[in-house]
Chain A
Amino acid sequence: MTATDNVTRVPANVDRAAANARMREVLARFMPPFVLLVGVIVVWEAVSRIFKVPEFVLPAPSTIVAVLIAHQRDLGYAAFVTAREVLWGFVLSGIIGAAVALVIARFATFGRALYPLVVLFQNVPKVALAPLFILWFGFDLAPKVVLIVVIAFFPVAINMLVGLQTVDSNLVALMRSVGASRNVILWRIQIPNSLPYLMAGLKVAVTLAVIGAIVGEFAGAQAGLGYMIQFASTQMQTALVFAALVEVSVLGMLFYYAIEWIERRYIDWMPHTA
């Protein structure tokens, strides 16, 4: 902007106007949720002060912030442990989900055999498997990662499969007409076509991954935000529970927006919904 300032006045004005318009757009997008959030916090704070709600039932936001600051080292470490579980679990869910979708799409017969089994498995309440994974894989990272994968690979697989299968049949006919093999069609048309669907699946998966990590830690852990929530609640340290919940939410949002950023950056041919 400063570079154009010394050329002529008009472009500078135009530039400034454009910058202002962009600023207004950003404000219009972020203001409403921000205002709502602040409003909820203010009401919450007021209610807990006016009615003198006991801290072990519902701590005031100011108390939670104080705990967040006082326990920042413990919370930070717990968040690191949980984030590591989420990251590993999520990445493996993505890889395994995409692989399942590719196998089903590419090898029709095997796909017909595999698909109902995948759906059947989806209907097993996987949270119930958590104690089993603790039994098999110990108390550390592994059982949480396995639990996340069994919970989160399904939306990835199902979304990507839809993307692989909803290709224009005329386009496929054209490709066949010039002698394209199934692999060429998969590689040049089906896979690129599936990427926006894959991203939608990954967004669902990352949310499930956070849930999986917390549940996994509930079932048995020595560290992490889920472990901390459980530990603090048995000690009636409700403010600490809330502080951990805040960190879980922030963690989940960071992962979610990281994926959204990748989507906007690299898959820019699909119109984005806000």
Chain B
Amino acid sequence: MTSTIAPVPHAPAHILARNVCVDFTVAGRVTRVLNDVSLSVPKGGFVSLIGPSGCGKSTLLKVLAGLLAPTSGDVSVAGVTPVEAVRQRRIGIVFQEATLLPWKNALDNVAMLMQVAHASRSGDEIRQRAADMLRLVGLERAAQKRPAQLSGGMRQRVSMARALALDPEVLMMDEPFGALDAITREEMSDFLLEIWERTKKTIVLVTHSIDEAAFLSGEVHVMAANPGRILEAMPIGLPYPRNEESYAAPEFARATSRLRRLLKEGHRQVRAA
């Protein structure tokens, strides 16, 4: 991988992937998981990756987040390679499972990565920052609670606070609300928009929910499987700030029906192949 990619002059992309391919070798057989994927996300943008299971959306996120090296192609985040961006703490990651330490309370879980990343800072400083982050996600009163005492939505918010604590420029989220019930999901969507508007992070969200993708994103990348690829990058023409009423807007209806059609199309192609 080259370390930098010349920026496109008219659209300063914060995240840029060009011709990314990923092959997995299982039992001696090479499978193409991602084929020739290119995308760009502007600074402060909110982009979703949506697609059926096995379309490689999580794999693509892992590549963008520096957790997986692509077989070929170039990726840059904030002008450097993802691995370098991770090293510079520019990328925060939130997984589907909250992946908290069950033996630590919410505050210590938020502080966990900071204690490693900012080893030189004092314990008080780190705890203060962790408490601020818990306040940001509305959990200041649950600071002393262990993960087992928190609901699924609260655990996921602790996980977000942990990612935000390192003040990354980019937040990579892999189906962060996938394990939550429908009501909590919508609450978390509202909450995520609020955080995004307040912190101005660039967000890449992997989801399999059409409504979630349309409600949250400025642009949705629709993916298809076998091999995993991007079918279309679809802008959502729904103005921010968005709220309950956005679900009733005609732009929302247009976006979701088009997304639905694209996903079905991708699915048909797979079955025909």
Beta-carbon contact of A177 and B91 below 8 Å: yes
Beta-carbon contact of A173 and B146 below 8 Å: no
Say what secondary structure dominates the interface of chain B.
loop
Asked whether any CB of chain A lies closer than 8 Å to the CB of B87, the reply is yes
Closest Cβ neighbor of B118 among chain A residues: A178
Asked whether any CB of chain B lies closer than 8 Å to the CB of A262, the reply is no
Interface-lining segment among B8-16, B92-100, B176-184, B250-258: B92-100
Cα–Cα, bound, A270→B113 (Å): 23
Instruction: Kindly identify, within residues 157 to 199 of chain B, every residue whose CB is under 8 Å from any CB belonging to chain A.
Output: 166
Asked whether any CB of chain A lies closer than 8 Å to the CB of B101, the reply is yes
Cα–Cα, bound, A66→B271 (Å): 82
Residue of B99, B116, B148 contacting most chain A CB atoms (<10 Å): B116
Asked whether any CB of chain B lies closer than 8 Å to the CB of A250, the reply is no
Cα–Cα, bound, A174→B112 (Å): 10
Beta-carbon contact of A179 and B103 below 8 Å: no
Q: Mark B67-87, 1 if CB is under 8 A from A, else 0.
A: 100000000000000000011
Of B97, B103, B116, which contacts A184 at CB under 8 A? B116
Tell me how far the C-beta of A259 lies from the nearest C-beta in chain B, rounded to whole angstroms: 19
Closest Cβ neighbor of B91 among chain A residues: A177
Cα–Cα, bound, A98→B166 (Å): 35
Asked whether any CB of chain B lies closer than 8 Å to the CB of A204, the reply is no
Beta-carbon contact of A178 and B101 below 8 Å: no
Beta-carbon contact of A178 and B166 below 8 Å: yes
Tell me how far the C-beta of A93 lies from the nearest C-beta in chain B, rounded to whole angstroms: 25
Asked whether any CB of chain A lies closer than 8 Å to the CB of B66, the reply is yes
Beta-carbon contact of A177 and B66 below 8 Å: yes
* Given the contacts A184-B116, A269-B146, A269-B148, A178 and B99 also touching, CB distance less than 8 Å: no
Beta-carbon contact of B86 and A177 below 8 Å: yes
* Given the contacts A170-B97, A173-B67, A178 and B102 also touching, CB distance less than 8 Å: no
Tell me how far the C-beta of B129 lies from the nearest C-beta in chain A, rounded to whole angstroms: 14
Of B93, B101, B102, B146, which contacts A177 at CB under 8 A? B93
Beta-carbon contact of A170 and B101 below 8 Å: no
Cα–Cα, bound, A226→B40 (Å): 76
Q: Mark A143-173, 1 if CB is under 8 A from B, else 0.
A: 0000000000000000000000000101101
Tell me how far the C-beta of A267 lies from the nearest C-beta in chain B, rounded to whole angstroms: 8
Cα–Cα, bound, A89→B81 (Å): 54
Asked whether any CB of chain B lies closer than 8 Å to the CB of A175, the reply is yes
Beta-carbon contact of B97 and A178 below 8 Å: no
Asked whether any CB of chain B lies closer than 8 Å to the CB of A180, the reply is yes
Beta-carbon contact of B148 and A178 below 8 Å: no
Cα–Cα, bound, A189→B146 (Å): 16
Asked whether any CB of chain A lies closer than 8 Å to the CB of B267, the reply is no
Beta-carbon contact of B102 and A270 below 8 Å: yes
Beta-carbon contact of A171 and B103 below 8 Å: no
Asked whether any CB of chain B lies closer than 8 Å to the CB of A138, the reply is no
Tell me how far the C-beta of B63 lies from the nearest C-beta in chain A, rounded to whole angstroms: 13
* Given the contacts A269-B102, A269-B146, A270-B102, A168 and B113 also touching, CB distance less than 8 Å: no
Chain B residues in 8 Å Cβ range of A173: 67, 93
Instruction: Kindly identify, within residues 229 to 274 of chain A, every residue whose CB is under 8 Å from any CB belonging to chain B.
Output: 267, 269-271
Tell me how far the C-beta of B126 lies from the nearest C-beta in chain A, rounded to whole angstroms: 13
* Given the contacts A175-B113, A179-B87, A192 and B93 also touching, CB distance less than 8 Å: no
Tell me how far the C-beta of B179 lies from the nearest C-beta in chain A, rounded to whole angstroms: 13
Beta-carbon contact of B99 and A179 below 8 Å: no
Cα–Cα, bound, A174→B116 (Å): 11
Asked whether any CB of chain A lies closer than 8 Å to the CB of B270, the reply is no
Q: List 14 A-B contacts (CB under 8 A).
A: A170-B95, A170-B97, A171-B101, A174-B99, A175-B113, A175-B116, A177-B86, A179-B116, A184-B116, A192-B101, A267-B103, A269-B102, A269-B148, A270-B102
State the B residues within 8 Å of A (CB): 66-67, 86-87, 89, 91, 93, 95, 97, 99, 101-103, 112-113, 116-117, 146, 148, 166
Contacts A173-B67, A174-B113, A189-B101 known; list 13 others, CB within 8 Å: A170-B95, A170-B99, A171-B99, A174-B93, A174-B99, A177-B66, A177-B67, A178-B89, A179-B117, A188-B116, A192-B101, A192-B103, A269-B148
